[in-house]
Amino acid sequence: MGNLTALAVKAAMSTPGTYQDGDGLFLKIDKRGGAYWLLRLQRDGRRQDIGLGSAKLVSLAEARMRASELRKVAKVDKRDVLAEKKDEAAAKVTFREAALQYHRENEASWKSAIYRRQWLASLENYVFPKLSKKPTSSITSADIISVLNPIWQDIPDTARHVRNRICTVLDYAHAKGWRSTEAPSGSGSLKAGRGLPKQIKQRENRKAMPYVELPSFLVALRRKPTYGRLALELLILTATRSQEVRLATWDEFDLDARLWTIPAEHMKRSKAHMVPLCDEAMAVLAKADALRQAGTNVVFPGVGGKPLSDMSLLKVLRDMSEPLHVHGFRSTFTDWAANEGISDAVVEAALAHKTPDAVQAAYRRTTYLGTKDQPGARGMALRYEHQLGWTRSSRRAIRCWRGSIWPTRSTPTWRRG
């Protein structure tokens, strides 16, 4: 017979403390009014305290019965009761809970706010409707395939990203002890041609404008000066990416040296990039400066002085009825450079691309901007475009690109070396 009675338990509810019933069973009353039953066991010389529920919901008789059952399981069957209770709790962690926790723990290491949003949005759109409430411990290859099949052929790139993110969450769940195995292998049942059909839709390159059409496009672009149009023009003239232009701040520009130094945190490869500025790019910055908003250091601000959204530049193209992609202008620049016979290495440096060859990347560290005494390929004198017979205003489109490869003599290249 235990030490406690039903009346003693009722009386103890208002007084914080620990009340022993015997054989390891005791009642715990905390200072906030919480009351719960605990059973203390010894396993391999170590103490284990196992919760039996709230004393406001579980009576003394029920607590004694549960304690008796657990003592038998631990002492006679030699089972680890506490580990089993943890396994039961872990088995109930849903895919949504695991995904949200993984996202919270890792989003700070992802440099792009767009990627952070897209990562979670892809799961919300395609995965959560089917797997949200399903425990991570019970998710199989068949469950993942059922999610991917509807989008596998229509949006193949997105589908592959979704597959990888599902597997990442399941691997994370395995590491946390919520799942007994790692995610199904991408080279196994989740590989195209096995559990998933082979993707037949060919990847399409982003639509780009032929460079011979660019001068007339720039003329049309300049007819209505807005932050979006100015940002797009600077992107075209410098062959940079959307994010680099949209996030640009005034302190990145040395207008005297005619140099734009893009910080590492704005670059895709997390490596600072230097861009020489031609006359036309300087003119864009002058227009942006004339429209500068008080209270913001962003060159092309949107609502509230914050950077333009990632859709702003695409909207400019859509408003001009151009079925192109913003990123395609880097392809336009590459086509022009190839036609001019410019070295691939120099073009890749201007585009801030990674050197594919690991050995070359380790040894070739030049920016091709050169030094004061010995200008490099991007520090040679500006060449005059004439072979296409364009008008003076049309030539400006290509002249700026020549500036990104070969800055003008008036540019002090030694200050960039």
Task: Give the Cα separation of 286 and 255 in Å (integer).
Answer: 10
Query: What are the tens digits of pLDDT across the range 188-241?
Result: 678 766 778 887 755 556 688 888 888 889 899 998 889 999 999 999 988 899
Task: Give the Cα separation of 336 and 210 in Å (integer).
Answer: 9
> What amino acid occupies position 24?
G
More confident residue, 288 or 87: 288
At 29 the three-state DSSP class reads: strand
Mean pLDDT, range 119-124, rounded to an integer: 92
Least trusted range by pLDDT, from 1-5, 318-322, 336-340, 410-414: 410-414
The pLDDT of residue 250 is 95
Residue 1 pLDDT more than 90? Answer: no
The pLDDT of residue 372 is 47
Task: Give the Cα separation of 63 and 68 in Å (integer).
Answer: 9
CA distances from 283 to 43, 234, 291, 332 (A): 78, 9, 13, 21
The pLDDT of residue 81 is 61
Query: What are the tens digits of pLDDT across the range 229-286?
Result: 999 999 998 889 999 999 999 999 999 988 899 998 888 878 889 888 888 889 999 9
Largest CA-CA distance found in the chain, in angstroms, rounded: 107
The pLDDT of residue 206 is 66
Classify domain 95-176 by CATH number. 1.10.150.130
Mean pLDDT, range 130-145, rounded to an integer: 89
Mean pLDDT, range 7-29, rounded to an integer: 87
Query: What are the tens digits of pLDDT across the range 315-370?
Result: 999 999 998 889 999 998 888 888 878 888 878 888 888 755 554 544 454 555 65
Element holding 138 (H helix, E strand): none
Which fold would CATH assign to domain 6-86? Double Stranded RNA Binding Domain (3.30.160)
> Do the two domains 6-86 and 95-176 of this chain adopt the same fold?
no
In this prediction, what percent of the chain has a pLDDT beyond 90?
A: 26
Task: Give the Cα separation of 31 and 19 in Å (integer).
Answer: 14
The pLDDT of residue 248 is 95
Which letter does DSSP use for residue 213 in this model? Answer: G
Which fold would CATH assign to domain 211-415? hpI Integrase; Chain A (1.10.443)
Task: Give the Cα separation of 154 and 199 in Å (integer).
Answer: 9
pLDDT category of residue 30 using cuts at 50, 70 and 90: confident
In this prediction, what percent of the chain has a pLDDT beyond 70?
A: 77
Mean pLDDT of the chain: 79
Instruction: Return the bridge partners of 254, or none.
Output: 259
Going by C-beta distance under 8 Å and a sequence separation of 6 or more, which residues neighbour residue 105? none
pTM recorded for the entire structure: 0.53
The pLDDT of residue 311 is 87
Least trusted range by pLDDT, from 54-58, 90-94, 166-170, 300-304: 90-94
Is-contact 250 223, C-beta < 8 A? no
Domain boundaries, the chain: 6-86, 95-176, 211-415
